[in-house]
Structure 1
Amino acid sequence: MTSETPTEQPLWFFGYGSLIWRPDFPFLEQKPARISGYIRRFWQGSPDHRGTPAEPGRVVTLVPDPAGSCDGVAFRVLPDHLQSVLEYLDERESGGYTRIISPIDIGHIVHATVYVANQNNPHYLGSSSLDKMAQHIVRSQGPSGTNLQYLTELARCLDHWRIRDKHVLDLHTQCLSIQHREGVSNEV
């Protein structure tokens, strides 16, 4: 885990994947948020949660895109909880993610801690066709559950927050189509 930390650590955390539905840390408030210059993609391997070291699942990361943005959820923590939340998330996101500080929009601009997996980490899978990613997700599972459960929960939570993400929706639709067509048993 590497980090880029300014002199004052922000009290906001930006979630764009499982953090949206399972923060598992105490927070004061949560708000819809947007980070600019990135898009959400299923390009990070998960050898520890939604896959195995031999067959990692696919989970989301933020990919730089100067014209793009990603909607998610921001969580504000109490100053007294900041250190324990950072330690918890550093451990949780230890599979190739780097902690960065970035401006996010929650109705006004604040700085937030964001965990991003870049292409230099050993678990980075990168881009693939929609069908290949869907095939991969439908067949992957790990200690935290199936990869399709992760994708389905992300799609459900984005819908709850009224966030439309074409990549997530298209991938989810393709996975369900494969599951139905091939009779792949993968509980959602």
Structure 2
Amino acid sequence: MSANTIEHNRQRFDFEGVEAIWLFGYGSLIYKVDFPYLEKRPAAIQGWVRRFWQASHDHRGTPEAPGRVVTLVKQPGATCRGMAYRVSPDVFEHLDVREKNGYLRFKTPMTFDDSSQAEGLVYIATEDNEAFLGDAPATDIARQIASAHGPSGPNSEYLLNLASSLRELGAECEHTFAIEACLPREA
């Protein structure tokens, strides 16, 4: 599958008659909220884990030196905490461009902190997209992140903002925190 998923996503869902829908954010959508929303609530989805397995050629790196950003990977019994936003469907005009580098929209059930549930959408970069990098040791991922820089800024900024936001949410993410611990510190 092509890394540019804009048109593919726009054909995946029909929003006719839909006034608002929930969107689950687990990466930069937690801390970089550059879209209007109607409501914002901490939430979790089941059976998925956050992993720095997706290349970023367009935001946190370049085609020649891609950064690494998170996607979701299936893992039975796992819980991924993040932030849910109730948005109007027109927000996806912007988000489909922002999340174009291999991410597809999928439906997902979400559980909010008060145990109520709702169905929403989530962007996931599956392993069959051109920008999927897959697993690597935390030290190697951290080294790649430390050296990558793109139009949205340093890749290390993405990692550090995500780690900080997860702590604020009270979300455990051993993978993110292990990479953060391996990130070379500036002198």
- TM-score w.r.t. the length of structure 2 is 0.88
Aligned match for 1:158, one of 145, 148, 166: 166
Aligned match for 1:57, one of 49, 59, 67: 67
Gaps of 5+ in 1: 184-188
Partner of 2:93: 87
Partner of 1:37: 47
Partner of 1:111: 119
Separation (CA, whole Å) in 1 of partners of 2:46 and 2:71: 14
Alpha-carbon contact 1:5-1:100 (below 8 Å) kept: no
Alpha-carbon contact 1:6-1:101 (below 8 Å) kept: no
Task: Please state if 1:67 is matched with 2:84.
Answer: no
Gaps of 5+ in 2: none
Q: CA deviation at 1:179?
A: 2.6
The amino acid that maps onto 1:93 is E
Separation (CA, whole Å) in 1 of partners of 2:35 and 2:60: 21
Alpha-carbon contact 1:30-1:75 (below 8 Å) kept: yes
Partner of 1:97: 103
Separation (CA, whole Å) in 1 of partners of 2:94 and 2:119: 19
Q: Secondary structure at the match of 1:100?
A: strand
Separation (CA, whole Å) in 1 of partners of 2:34 and 2:156: 21
How many pairs align? Answer: 175
Alpha-carbon contact 1:20-1:72 (below 8 Å) kept: yes
The amino acid that maps onto 2:53 is W
The amino acid that maps onto 1:62 is L
Q: CA deviation at 1:6?
A: 7.2
Separation (CA, whole Å) in 2 of partners of 1:139 and 1:149: 11
The alignment yields a C-alpha RMSD, in angstroms, of 1.6
